[in-house]
Amino acid sequence: MLIDRLQQEMKIAGFSPRSIKSYSICAQKIYSHFQKPLNQISEDEFKSFLAKLANKNYSPYTLNLYHATFKYIIRNIYKKPLDFRFPYAKRPKKLPVVLSRKEITILISSLNNSKHKTLIALAYGAGLRVSEVINLKVRDIDLEELTIHLKQSKGAKDRITIMPVKIKTDIQNLITGKKAGDLVFESERGGKITTRTAQKVFSNALKKVGIKKPATFHSLRHSFATHLLENGVDVRYVQELLGHANIRTTQVYTKVTNPKLKNIKSPL
């Protein structure tokens, strides 16, 4: 019943299906560990629980997810204040993996399947998440204005981003004859391309051209942001194109593309 109430509360609050699933899994595991109502768990007990997870090498992200789930349940399901005094786990500050312009060009050129080539090119050229590109619909694209209107994306936010003119004809060919509500990219059997398929297309292309960087599909979005900053685009505009709520999230790319650091020559 707790899980049902949690899912109902989160749906009403507008959480994404992915977040609801993650919170539900954490809530189930917390209950399985303590075998009692969550509002009866003491501060020391929950600290001990998190410490055990940390000792099992659970990531800071996962520890914070358990923490957030517990806090959400106490405050929103049990309607009680939570004044436990323990901080969120500190997450490591890693720089995003960015592909160079040359690597992007080689990667896209290596793809023989025209649909896959356009999918990867659009993800990079518009700064799209994998979920955004596979859910993209014909009505979201304005070929005349070269813009894409992303609706109810991450955080239930709409945003406008740019579309590269280089693939305008390729996009036109993909959507010709389709209805406004149809998907731009469909699987061979019809229907939506899966996240896994899109990621596989990208990883196979990496291997094919011999790029050794630990890049993921999301690296296309990282590369989009970094290359815009290198072109002199103001970080605030990049923030809008990416749909970041906080500019500090966008500013991480300035560390990847700092021209002053790149121009320094080693003394060796």
pLDDT at 268: 83
pLDDT at 103: 96
pLDDT at 82: 83
Q: Respond yes or no: is residue 227 known to be catalytic.
A: no
pLDDT at 88: 73
| Residue type for position 3 | I
Work out the pLDDT band at 176, boundaries 50, 70, 90: very high
Q: Respond yes or no: is residue 192 known to be catalytic.
A: no
User: All domains of the chain, ordered by start, with CATH?
Assistant: 2-76 (1.10.150), 101-262 (1.10.443.10)
The yes-or-no verdict on residue 135 having pLDDT over 60 is: yes
Per-residue pLDDT tens for 185-195? 998 887 889 99
User: Is 88:69 a contact under the CB 8 Å cutoff?
Assistant: no
pLDDT at 221: 94
User: Is 222:98 a contact under the CB 8 Å cutoff?
Assistant: yes
* Three-class SS state of 150: strand
pLDDT at 1: 82
Q: Respond yes or no: is residue 5 known to be catalytic.
A: no
pLDDT at 18: 85
Q: Respond yes or no: is residue 154 known to be catalytic.
A: yes
Work out the pLDDT band at 177, boundaries 50, 70, 90: very high
Q: Exactly one of 67, 117, 221, 227 is catalytic; name it.
A: 221
Per-residue pLDDT tens for 206-261? 999 999 999 999 999 999 999 999 988 999 999 999 988 888 888 888 887 776 67
Q: Respond yes or no: is residue 159 known to be catalytic.
A: no
Per-residue pLDDT tens for 14-53? 888 889 999 999 999 999 999 999 999 999 999 999 999 9
pLDDT at 220: 96
Q: Respond yes or no: is residue 33 known to be catalytic.
A: no
* Three-class SS state of 212: coil
Per-residue pLDDT tens for 86-118? 777 776 678 899 999 999 999 999 999 999 999
Tell me the two tokens of residue 160: 């406008």
User: Is 129:225 a contact under the CB 8 Å cutoff?
Assistant: no
Q: Exactly one of 129, 159, 222, 227 is catalytic; name it.
A: 129
Work out the pLDDT band at 155, boundaries 50, 70, 90: low
